[in-house]
């Protein structure tokens, strides 16, 4: 796979909370000016930072930006997610929105209102909801595509066997299946079998890539730059990444970045795109998204991939 076929996706989770609307507008403008296309948000972003105790801020900022920029809707594709938004302020996970047909339809209706659009280009199930029959969830997602409210569908933070079961259910019902996966992935990896501290995160595993490649599914990765830990001494990697493989991989990363006259962040993004994975990048400044978009010009060869693989 070649990184010319993959995209840098702009993660907008902190828009309207950590990132003020005017700064978010500047980032969105720079992203489009640099040839970026996909925006990734969710109806629950970012309830844990918002004084209201519920999500929606990110979608509202994007909607305001679209309204202020005539023609911008034609320049971008919007991906949002349902599942996890607190239905009662400051009451999560107790009141977290699920994946019943009713919850899905209500959640998407509210997302469209906040985004000020009539459809989204990709709708994600943000996490599993095993209290609801998978067939019900699949049917509701399929209805939204049939109605023209969503173009494509995806599963975030789902076990690969659940994705395949859902795809089989979609075939049986004659509705649009999930055709994209979103999971956490980056160049350095936690110690095996060690849970990460962030609740709800599911790591990309070999079986997920196997499913995606055999079925032709898109793969998006989040937390790709590990909150700046590759380049900022004040942002050390979490303890679960403290193992010899990390030390070796980071040494190779520094070497490759120097050889290619690129930043370590750009090499990490290029490494993901070289494998056909679309990296989601959350930023708070214009120069950060410009740096990320420039990663598309970083050309990693097979020998670079081998060096990283052997370092692990």
Span 110-144, pLDDT tens digits: 999 999 999 999 999 999 999 999 999 999 999 99
Does residue 266 have a pLDDT over 70?
Answer: yes
User: What mean pLDDT comes out for the span 188-203?
Assistant: 90
Does residue 224 have a pLDDT over 80?
Answer: yes
Rounded Cα distance, 300 and 312, in Å = 17
In the chain, what percentage of residues exceed pLDDT 70?
Answer: 99
Of 310, 306, 227, the residue nearest 271 (C-alpha)? 306
pLDDT of residue 221: 98
Rounded Cα distance, 215 and 311, in Å = 30
In the chain, what percentage of residues exceed pLDDT 90?
Answer: 96
Rounded Cα distance, 227 and 173, in Å = 41
Which CATH code, of 3.40.50.720, 3.30.70.2610, 3.20.20.100, 3.90.1170.40, is assigned to 3-236+265-301?
3.20.20.100
User: What mean pLDDT comes out for the span 289-301?
Assistant: 97
Span 15-64, pLDDT tens digits: 999 999 999 999 999 999 999 999 999 999 999 999 999 999 999 999 99
Going from N- to C-terminal start, the domains of the chain cover 3-236+265-301
* Residue whose entry in the numeric block shows the structure tokens 């349902």: 82
Residues 6+ apart with CB under 8 A from 162: 128, 134, 155
Mean pLDDT of the chain: 96
Task: Check residue 226 and report its DSSP letter.
Answer: G
Does residue 1 have a pLDDT over 60?
Answer: no
CB atoms within 10 A of CB 216: 7
Of 217, 222, 218, the residue nearest 203 (C-alpha)? 222
Task: Check residue 141 and report its DSSP letter.
Answer: H
């Amino acid at each position: 796979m070649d990184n010319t076929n993959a995209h840098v996706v702009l993660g907008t989770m902190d828009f309207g909370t950590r990132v003020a609307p005017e700064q978010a507008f500047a980032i969105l403008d720079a992203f489009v000016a640099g040839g970026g296309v996909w925006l990734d948000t969710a109806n629950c972003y970012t309830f844990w930072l918002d004084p209201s105790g519920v999500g929606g801020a990110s979608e509202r900022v994007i909607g305001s930006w679209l309204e202020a920029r005539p023609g911008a809707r034609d320049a971008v594709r919007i991906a949002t997610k349902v599942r996890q938004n607190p239905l009662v302020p400051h009451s999560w996970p107790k009141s977290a929105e699920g994946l019943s047909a009713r919850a899905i339809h209500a959640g998407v209706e509210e997302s469209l209102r906040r985004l000020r659009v009539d459809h989204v280009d990709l709708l994600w199930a943000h996490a599993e909801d095993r209290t609801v029959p998978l067939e019900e969830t699949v049917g509701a997602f399929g209805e939204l595509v049939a109605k023209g409210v969503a173009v494509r569908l995806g599963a975030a933070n789902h076990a690969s066997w659940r994705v395949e079961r859902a795809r089989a259910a979609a075939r049986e019902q004659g509705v649009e299946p999930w055709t994209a996966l979103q999971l956490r992935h980056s160049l350095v990896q936690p110690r095996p079998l060690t849970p990460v501290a962030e609740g709800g995160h599911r790591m990309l595993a070999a079986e997920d890539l196997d499913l995606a490649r055999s079925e032709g599914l898109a793969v998006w990765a989040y937390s790709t730059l590990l909150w700046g830990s590759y380049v900022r001494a004040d942002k050390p990697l979490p303890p679960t990444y403290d193992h010899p493989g990390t030390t070796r991989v980071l040494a190779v990363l520094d070497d490759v970045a120097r050889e290619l006259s690129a930043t370590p962040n750009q090499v990490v993004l290029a490494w993901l795109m070289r494998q056909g994975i679309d990296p989601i990048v959350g930023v708070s400044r214009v120069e950060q998204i410009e740096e990320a978009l420039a990663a598309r010009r970083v050309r990693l060869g097979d020998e670079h991939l081998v060096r990283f693989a052997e370092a692990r």
